[in-house]
Amino acid sequence: MVPILLVLLLALVLFGAGFAVKLLWWIALAVLVLWLLGFFMRGTTTAGGRGRWYRW
């Protein structure tokens, strides 16, 4: 009985981890798309005239 419960618990944990990892991949993809849109839509010139696309 205990090994069956351990296997079911392991399956539940792995299913939850798999779902979380898949969700994190979708979030990472959305952040990447937003970053690329900001990269291409933002101008390359700043007030100082130095062509930087990043803020720091």
**Does the pTM of the predicted model rise above 0.75?**
no
Q: Cα 56–46–53 angle (5° rounding)?
A: 50
DSSP string for the chain: -HHHHHHHHHHHHHHHHHHHHHHHHHHHHHHHHHHHHHHHHS-S--TTS----S--
pLDDT, tens digit (0-9, with 9 covering 90-100), for 2-49: 888 898 888 888 888 888 888 889 999 999 998 888 877 765 555 555
